[in-house]
Structure 1
Amino acid sequence: MAKSSRHVHQAQRKRSAQLLEICRKRLASLELPETPDIRMLCEHLGRQRGRPIHLIPAAMQAPDPCGLWIAANNADYIVYEANTSKLHQEHIIAHELAHMICCHRGTGELDEATMNQLFPGLGPELLRDIFRRTTYSDVQEEEAEITASLILGRADRCPPERTWTVPPGAVGTAARIERSLKNSPTRAS
């Protein structure tokens, strides 16, 4: 690897580490509940922001984004891909929540076909006003991805009291597996 390329990668890693720390601090300041449910998180953030967050599943076209945050006058709307897995939907919603949490503002416009697909009953002038700012910079996207991952990481944690009891007929097998893992040469110390 060339010397300048190494410096670029080191600078990128340092910037990413700094961004991760900023995202962690921002989430910590929100005092979010420990909930595994993304919809409950939306309700909580809506109460904190003083405006409801509405989730709208929609069949998005392939070249379109998987999700979209619309900040209306009195509410926020998150449009997310309806035709994907629940896990992917939750990631899309968390990513759009992250744009809200990070106070991002878009820098571009959606095409008219996408706007008409999402809201077929609204006129083109109104849709252009609503969707005037819909794309984000690469730094904002990275920040939203990091924040979304942190949000989902909080949601994915199992409560400490959750345990698994070995069924009586499997005690011997479980003990052998445990002994094997303890004696494994690849076991991390």
Structure 2
Amino acid sequence: MDKSQLRATCEERLRRLDLPHRFGTHQLREAVAAMRGKPIILRALNPTDAADTPCGIRVETPTADILFVEQGTSAAHQMHILAHEISHILCDHPGSLSLGDGTTSAIGLNPTLIQRMSGRTAYTTADEREAELLATLIRQRVYRERLLPARRPTVADERWDAIFA
């Protein structure tokens, strides 16, 4: 898929979420959870000294999507990691981490419950590039929409909020 096709595909995925004019991480998670029919659970990922440790991990189980986001980074970076991992869900990527990576013990989940798991340490695969582009579009929409007039009214001033308060 060329860059313009990829961008159009990502923009369409974002449009289908039918998010309000102003939305935050909660509204984004709720829209994706409703589409998937299961909740999105956020967990802190403790930073390590290893350079190849993912800063975000998506774990799919039969009953929930669990997103691990690095706790020891800035709020802006956490929000981008969250958008990136949600993008993997929206794109229905198969996952890139294997259960033998030692990651399952680090996140404390029973490996028999895990259907798919992905984590990003580089942007070398098509799935990672697609998730990164969609995450960037999500973040651009969040901030751009704060400058333009509302297309439809909202009940409250929703914000792109911090993940770990």
TM normalised by structure 2 equals: 0.75
Work out whether residues 80 and 92 of structure 1, in 8 Å CA contact, stay in contact via their aligned partners in 2: yes
2:98 and 2:8 map into 1 onto residues whose CA distance is 31
Partner of 1:30: 17
Work out whether residues 59 and 65 of structure 2, in 8 Å CA contact, stay in contact via their aligned partners in 1: yes
More helix by share: 1
What aligned pairs does 1:173-184 form with structure 2 within 5 A after superposition?
A: none
1:86 and 1:159 map into 2 onto residues whose CA distance is 21
Partner of 1:3: none
User: CA, structure 1 residues 135+93, in 2 after alignment: closer, same or farther (shift >3 Å)?
Assistant: closer
Partner of 1:181: none
Q: Match of 1:81, as an amino acid? A: E
Q: Kindly indicate whether residue 87 of structure 2 is the aligned counterpart of residue 98 of structure 1.
A: yes
Partner of 2:70: 81
2:148 and 2:32 map into 1 onto residues whose CA distance is 25
RMSD: 2.5
Partner of 1:150: 137
1:96 and 1:155 map into 2 onto residues whose CA distance is 16
Partner of 2:3: 16
3-state SS in 2 of match to 1:68: strand
Work out whether residues 110 and 132 of structure 1, in 8 Å CA contact, stay in contact via their aligned partners in 2: no
What aligned pairs does 1:156-167 form with structure 2 within 5 A after superposition?
A: 156-157=143-144, 158-160=146-148
3-state SS in 2 of match to 1:55: strand
How far apart are 1:48 and its partner, in Å? 2.6
Cα offsets for 1:52-98 (capped at 9, x unmatched):
11111121323211101111111111001000000000000000000
Q: Match of 2:55, as an amino acid? A: C
1:76 and 1:35 map into 2 onto residues whose CA distance is 24
Work out whether residues 71 and 78 of structure 2, in 8 Å CA contact, stay in contact via their aligned partners in 1: yes
User: CA, structure 1 residues 87+146, in 2 after alignment: closer, same or farther (shift >3 Å)?
Assistant: same
Work out whether residues 109 and 131 of structure 1, in 8 Å CA contact, stay in contact via their aligned partners in 2: no
Gap regions ≥5 residues in structure 1:
1-13, 163-189
Which structure is larger by alpha-carbon Rg, 1 or 2?
A: 1
Work out whether residues 55 and 80 of structure 1, in 8 Å CA contact, stay in contact via their aligned partners in 2: yes
Q: Which among 60, 69, 90 is matched to residue 71 of structure 1? A: 60
Gap regions ≥5 residues in structure 2:
151-165
2:119 and 2:72 map into 1 onto residues whose CA distance is 22
Q: Give the fraction of aligned pairs with identical amino acids, expressed as a percent.
A: 34
TM normalised by structure 1 equals: 0.66
Work out whether residues 29 and 40 of structure 2, in 8 Å CA contact, stay in contact via their aligned partners in 1: yes
Partner of 1:6: none
Cα offsets for 1:132-185 (capped at 9, x unmatched):
6436871111110110001111111214359xxxxxxxxxxxxxxxxxxxxxxx
Q: Which among 118, 135, 156 is matched to residue 134 of structure 1? A: 118
Q: Which among 33, 48, 52 is matched to residue 35 of structure 2? A: 48
